[in-house]
Structure 1
Amino acid sequence: MAATFVLRDSARIRYLTGSMMYFAQGIPQGLLAIAIPAWLASLGASASDIGTYLSVIVLPWAFKLVTGPFMDRYQFLPMGRRKPWVLGAQFGLTVSLLALMLIENPAQQIGLLMLIGVLINSFAATQDVAVDGMSIDLTPVREQGRLNAFMSFGKAVGWGVTSAISGLLLVNFGMQVTAIVAASVAGVVLVFFVLVLEREGERRLPWTAGKAMATRLEGHSFGAVFKGVNKVLWKRASVLVMMIMAFDGLVYGYGQALMPIAAVRLFGYTTPEWSQLVAVMGLIGAGVALALGPMIDRFGAKRMLVVTMSLVGVHAFLIAQTQFLWQDTTYVRIMLSIWILMLPVVMVCSIALAMAICSSKASATQLAIYMSVANLGHSAGSKIYATVADRASYVENYMFLGLLVIGMVIILLFHRHQHEQQEQKPREGARNFTVGTGVGGAGLYFSGAMRCPKCRADMEQIDYEGVEVDRCSVCNGVWFDEGEVEQLASRDAARAIDTGSARQGKKQNKVDEYRCPRCGGGMLKKTDQEQSHIWYETCGDCHGSFFDAGEFRDLAQVTVSDYFKRLVKPKRRES
């Protein structure tokens, strides 16, 4: 009997599976977006065709959030909530990579190449959304940061290795062999995932033995989701962030089309040399980007983005004005390496800026919209290059790239955002959804409800006299947004809201290392000043609070027994 890997039971299996699935997502990125453009340039394809090709194949990543509601509505629970979608998308990715074997003369079949590229990326984007949803569904909050790091690293390795190897294969063996190798690697990941179960007792495949071990999660319509987001999306700060993300995409897309063509035709690089340079420097850049987090926290996302984008602009103008050094191979290699290195660094700063503006009540949907704007800008940037490439010199192209950067920096200087305090009124709008970010983008999945930070079950909204709070459907812990504890601190309200067992809450009280279920921020350990035996946690960012079952009832009333509890319970180390 074949070995079975159960995601729910093992953190190591979750890390391994997440890394492998994101590795598979990196295969089309390394092949389609890095190796093939350089190969097309070496074969004599026009800059216009290459730019158009790049602008079209990225579109599935801009619109991938539309798949979320379908995953929520159509589930085959005997195989798990998300596994059927992940398995189907990975199978589609494997088969669609084989479709590249139809390409015999890529420079003459650019239209067919674009069509197959869109198909491949559609499956890759769908797999991304499904894997993100499955990961959060099965991963405790305290492990999510580590899991995201594993998945990001897996994707970076995927596109890095794929770009380096496919660059060699395309030149020496052609598209057919490259397609077979890429599909074979994706197929290995597919076979591995067949052996993975979300929960013990479920089916590996539709026709194998097993039964449903999870309940259906009802999703929300786009209308419900975007009604809440719409209230914050069109504020001044948010509009400026959308403009910044659009310009960020324009710079990235324009540069992604320009750089491989210039590397091959102007600086004399071969396809394998360019692919290997991108692989090595891209991985180094991913490491630098991960280490940049503390600096962003210290100096702010806006300031760091201004600095990094200014460096990108100086880099573009410097290349344009140093034609006399274009024959110096060392100088060219350094300049190309700096460009590749800066891409993931700028991406991390941009995402941090977008996250800072997001409302805690609809943060993930709002962030997903910002990322879609960036991806659309990416597509537009590549298309702009396709339009102007044949009419402008390389000096003019690099100068235009620098001007795009200047435009983005100017908009950044107008950006002013201070964290607004939560309005102390009933919560309206969309539920909290979750976003997963990696080296290549961000993924949105619809869970249908906010998740309990301690037991990972769905939380249901409870309305008490017009004020809505979230209560876990399993452990009965209660989440209060900022100001709601004070509004509801009466005995009647506490009895109506906090209906769980105090004994059960005492067990859950031991879990105090987790992320905020509302905004993902760090949770601070708190003790009630008057009743020191009541321990709870408060988010340091959105200032919401989580009480285990029975704690809020206890908080709302003072009894004689509280005096003895205070003597027995040890003093808590607050954070």
Structure 2
Amino acid sequence: MTPYRKRSLAFGLLYASEGAPIGFIWWAMPTQLRLAGVEPSVIAVIVGLLVVPWIFKFLWAPLIDYAQSRFGGFQFWVILAQIFMGLTLLPLVHLDLQEQFQLVVVCLFAHAFFAATQDVAIDGWLVKVTPVHERGKITGWMQAGMLIGRWLFGAGLLLVSDQIDFHVTIYALVAWIWFMLLVVVVTLYFPRGFEYLRGEANFGVIGRNLKRALTSSVTWLGIAIALTAGAGFEAVGAIAGPFFVDRGYSGPLVGYYYTAAVPAMMLGAVLGGYLADRVGHRITVMVAVVAIFAIISSVSAAAMLDLAEAFVVTPMVVLYAGIGLLTVSSYALFMDLTNPKIAGTQFSTYMGATNGCESWAAIAIGGLLTFLPYSQAFFFIALASLVSLFFLIKVKGRFEDSGPKHFKRPVPPA
């Protein structure tokens, strides 16, 4: 197996371990809560709050950048995080989702902290070992892996929600996360394809590079892009389950919708990765932003005009192809803007900003839904995402000087 294929497989499987709890928290749980009678505005706020650890993961990312060379590389942090990801989910076996809801949220929040730490370690490791020309393609395979995990414990759970006990699902989710630890162990025993230059790992070097990044306009433009580009799809995705429930769908029917969405997003991610590497990461992000706005606008119009259900469901599925395209191209762009010496910290800052977008968009649409119907709320939140085009245009003239050229590094041996 070539080093590229090994990297694609390993990071794809690791993202599958990330995707499983995301599928449960973002797809299955909101649908089940709505079926239990919880208001959509409340559900949106809860989802928004659970994203908080991902938003602020940059605060402890410098520790991971510093300590990774002293504790076996980024792999050590991935192993540690995944162990605690499982341990924080196990108490849910003994809790009732409705009657002990506050304790459930506490456990999920603790899980989110360790999942965010895992995210920092995996992304920092990825930036260190992946050549520039592979970034779009490997990100595509990572998103494919994430979607497999998300489908199994999101859409898959909804499809069998009438037959399988909730507690069995938690055990399966923990087993899935811990099984993926084998992937990290294999890379430790067979490291070819995962080599990287560790460099000097001390706070002085990290501090100087952080100062350099903080004074670069491109860093702030990247953060602005991350905070705005995904607003439309993040908001619609957070409330899609309740949206369909209010249109008369049962839990299994919502599961079928998410089942159709998974291959759509996977196709968008894999093809989008190849497209982004060919035509440019920035241009692909701009195309994806406009496409997603157009798709959400069509859903909004169909719902407002009370058209046949096919005119609502079809673009909602196609939306996930656009999400796949935007996700892989934007992640590749953020990798271009990342200094490998502070890979965990800087890339995690961009990723934290995308999670910030997810949080504010979910909370915002929850607020809009208190006085607007779904159709209008969808349109206005999608309109907000177009602000990112301004930042994407602004970054063009500074990209070569402050982006990849500024942070150029040797490509690891194949």
TM-score by length of 2: 0.80
Structure-to-structure mapping, 1:72-471, within 5 angstroms: 74=67, 80-106=72-98, 109-132=100-123, 150-190=141-181, 192=182, 196=186, 198-199=188-189, 218-220=201-203, 223-232=207-216, 235=217, 239-265=220-246, 267-293=247-273, 295-296=275-276, 300-323=280-303, 326=306, 328-354=308-334, 366-409=346-389, 412=392, 416-421=396-401, 453=411
Per the alignment, do residues 69 and 360 of structure 1 end up closer, same or farther by CA in structure 2, a change over 3 Å counting?
closer
Q: Which amino acid aligns with 1:45?
A: V
Q: Which stretch shows the higher mean deviation, 117-126 or 404-413?
A: 404-413
In the TM superposition, residue 345 of structure 1 has moved relative to its aligned partner by 1.4
In the TM superposition, residue 193 of structure 1 has moved relative to its aligned partner by 5.7
User: 2:268·2:322 contact (CA, 8 Å) conserved in 1?
Assistant: no
SS in 1 for 2:203: coil
In the TM superposition, residue 73 of structure 1 has moved relative to its aligned partner by 5.0
Question: Hey, what's the Cα distance between the residues in 2 that align with 1:45 and 1:270?
Answer: 15
**Structure 1 or 2: more strand by fraction:** 1
- The residue that corresponds to 1:446 in the other structure is none
Per the alignment, do residues 196 and 402 of structure 1 end up closer, same or farther by CA in structure 2, a change over 3 Å counting?
closer
Question: Hey, what's the Cα distance between the residues in 1 that align with 2:133 and 2:223?
Answer: 31
- The residue that corresponds to 1:40 in the other structure is 33
In the TM superposition, residue 299 of structure 1 has moved relative to its aligned partner by 5.1
- The residue that corresponds to 1:57 in the other structure is 50
Question: Hey, what's the Cα distance between the residues in 1 that align with 2:133 and 2:295?
Answer: 39
- Identity of paired residues, percent? 21
Among 11, 27, 50, the alignment partner of 2:20 is: 27
Per the alignment, do residues 135 and 41 of structure 1 end up closer, same or farther by CA in structure 2, a change over 3 Å counting?
same
User: 1:278·1:340 contact (CA, 8 Å) conserved in 2?
Assistant: no
Structure-to-structure mapping, 1:502-517, within 5 angstroms: none
In the TM superposition, residue 336 of structure 1 has moved relative to its aligned partner by 1.6
**Structure 1 or 2: more helix by fraction:** 2
In the TM superposition, residue 227 of structure 1 has moved relative to its aligned partner by 0.7
User: 1:20·1:189 contact (CA, 8 Å) conserved in 2?
Assistant: yes
Q: Which amino acid aligns with 2:215?
A: K
In the TM superposition, residue 99 of structure 1 has moved relative to its aligned partner by 2.3
RMSD of the TM alignment (CA)?
4.0
Question: Hey, what's the Cα distance between the residues in 1 that align with 2:346 and 2:391?
Answer: 20
Q: Which amino acid aligns with 2:313?
A: R
Q: Which has the larger radius of gyration?
A: 1
User: 1:288·1:345 contact (CA, 8 Å) conserved in 2?
Assistant: yes
User: 1:104·1:175 contact (CA, 8 Å) conserved in 2?
Assistant: no
Per the alignment, do residues 130 and 318 of structure 1 end up closer, same or farther by CA in structure 2, a change over 3 Å counting?
closer
Q: Which amino acid aligns with 1:242?
A: I
In the TM superposition, residue 148 of structure 1 has moved relative to its aligned partner by 5.5
In the TM superposition, residue 375 of structure 1 has moved relative to its aligned partner by 1.5
Question: Hey, what's the Cα distance between the residues in 1 that align with 2:215 and 2:262?
Answer: 38
Higher relative contact order (CA 8 A, sep 6+): 2
User: 2:54·2:112 contact (CA, 8 Å) conserved in 1?
Assistant: yes
Question: Hey, what's the Cα distance between the residues in 2 that align with 1:350 and 1:356?
Answer: 10
Question: Hey, what's the Cα distance between the residues in 1 that align with 2:12 and 2:80?
Answer: 18
Question: Hey, what's the Cα distance between the residues in 1 that align with 2:4 and 2:304?
Answer: 55
User: 2:140·2:272 contact (CA, 8 Å) conserved in 1?
Assistant: no
In the TM superposition, residue 357 of structure 1 has moved relative to its aligned partner by 5.8
TM-score by length of 1: 0.60
Kindly tell me the number of residue pairs found equivalent between the two proteins.
405
User: 1:250·1:379 contact (CA, 8 Å) conserved in 2?
Assistant: no
In the TM superposition, residue 361 of structure 1 has moved relative to its aligned partner by 8.5
SS in 2 for 1:328: coil
Q: Which amino acid aligns with 1:64?
A: K
| Structure 1 unmatched runs, 5+ | 1-8, 201-214, 433-449, 456-513, 515-575
User: 1:157·1:283 contact (CA, 8 Å) conserved in 2?
Assistant: no
Question: Hey, what's the Cα distance between the residues in 1 that align with 2:203 and 2:62?
Answer: 7
Per the alignment, do residues 165 and 363 of structure 1 end up closer, same or farther by CA in structure 2, a change over 3 Å counting?
closer
Question: Hey, what's the Cα distance between the residues in 2 that align with 1:148 and 1:262?
Answer: 30
Structure-to-structure mapping, 1:465-544, within 5 angstroms: none
Question: Hey, what's the Cα distance between the residues in 2 that align with 1:103 and 1:61?
Answer: 25
Question: Hey, what's the Cα distance between the residues in 2 that align with 1:315 and 1:418?
Answer: 31
In the TM superposition, residue 379 of structure 1 has moved relative to its aligned partner by 0.8
Per the alignment, do residues 405 and 75 of structure 1 end up closer, same or farther by CA in structure 2, a change over 3 Å counting?
closer
Per the alignment, do residues 453 and 360 of structure 1 end up closer, same or farther by CA in structure 2, a change over 3 Å counting?
closer
Per the alignment, do residues 194 and 256 of structure 1 end up closer, same or farther by CA in structure 2, a change over 3 Å counting?
closer
